[in-house]
Amino acid sequence: MALPTQETTVPNPLTALTLPELRSRTSAKWRKYDADVLPLWVAEMDVELADPVREELARAVHSGDLGYASGIAYTEALAEFSAERWGWNVSPGQMVTVTDVITGYVDVITMVTEPGSKVVVNPPVYPPFFSYLKAADRQITDAPLGADLRLDFGTLEEAFRAATADGKPAAYLLCSPHNPTGVAHTREELERVAALADQYGVAVVVDEIHAPIVYSDAEFVPYLSVTGGERGFSIMAASKAWNLAGIPAAIVIGGTARQAELARYASSTHHGPTHFGTLAQTAAYRHGGPWLDALLEGLDTNRRLLGTLVDEHLAGATYRVPQATYLTWIDCTGLELGGDPSAHFLEHARVALNSGPTFGAGGAGHVRLNIATHGEIITEAVRRMGASTHRG
């Protein structure tokens, strides 16, 4: 089914709000730090809601439609979106709704492994991969990314071998597209992942929350669509692409060879999504395409702007233009600011960034910078950062 289209052009969502309007927000991004700090850290976007999402939420509030989530519109909407955007025909019957993406991947990994089992991850990677799995009594096995920030298959195979050496079931939690590097894994890479996982008997679970945010010089490839991917699980949500973190919802998708486990999960006691979350994400998937396209154009401008600004103000730092996500990874080791440059930039530039070491191996000397804001804010932030490296 084709997504509905709008006749009017959607303006760049990243330029709609002024700095004073943003500072009036009460969410974490704008309230954690003092008012003189420019926050380019947590994964929130400085945008207004897409009109279709706003209209659906307004309808629900106006009518008092504030109960529990129900029905299959949400999963049907993702199936329609995946067919339109990625050419991937996945059945709503392969999907189970869940509170959020983190809950989804923890639940699935808990289901397919056992206490003390090892879970392979690719640092530097999204910090909750470490904290939530450890809380679930799983052990982390690192398979660090290569120097090019892509999957290193020699390292990955060694990690799979080590993770399965004790005879316990093991899993691989893959971030696709990758956070914080912005790498979009290719079909060839994902098929190599599937082949290695099959060889070593490792269950693959993929966090694909950033799937809609991939630029025109790359491609998002759903893991479950590749050869061998039918033995994996994916967790998807519209929350990152349409800025809906405050009303969570997500979908666990089982590969065609995992339907027995998916049915077991569906019938188990697990937390479901919020009603507002399902309403908002259904509207986003079905009617938010034009807004998403405008956002991607704005983010594309910003990812290239950041490269220019780093060259101009942060000579010695290394920045690779991301293929996906609105999160960028900057190597500041050449600036000699210590293991956690974010601390220096917060104190001396009044710019809040994510701390590289929290992303695990390979994170020291790095920062993560969020480009989902007005270009003028990015420009001022990097100017401040550069000035802070030339103090006295």
Break the chain into its structural domains and give their ranges: 13-50+289-388, 66-287
pTM score = 0.96
The pLDDT of residue 6? 44
Which residues, 6 or more positions from 91, have their beta carbon under 8 angstroms from its beta carbon?
A: 79
The pLDDT of residue 42? 98
Separation of alpha carbons 80 and 70, rounded Å: 18
Could you say which architecture CATH assigns to the domain 66-287? 3-Layer(aba) Sandwich (3.40)
Separation of alpha carbons 261 and 88, rounded Å: 22
The pLDDT of residue 8? 63
Which of 44, 75, 54 has its CA nearest to residue 285? 75
Separation of alpha carbons 260 and 71, rounded Å: 22
What is the CA angle 336-379-148, rounded to 5? 50
Q: What is the CATH code of the structural domain delimited by 13-50+289-388?
A: 3.90.1150.10
The pLDDT of residue 2? 41
Q: Which residues of 239-274 are buried (b: 16+ CB within 10 A; e: fewer)?
A: bbbbbbbebbbbbbbbbeebeebbeebeeeebebbb
Which of 297, 286, 239 has its CA nearest to residue 5? 286
Separation of alpha carbons 346 and 350, rounded Å: 5
The pLDDT of residue 7? 44
Q: What is the mean pLDDT of each run of 10 residues along the chain (392 residues)?
A: 54 97 97 97 98 98 95 97 98 96 97 97 97 97 98 98 97 98 98 98 98 98 98 98 97 97 91 95 98 98 98 96 98 96 98 98 98 98 96 58
Tell me 388's DSSP state.
H
The pLDDT of residue 1? 37
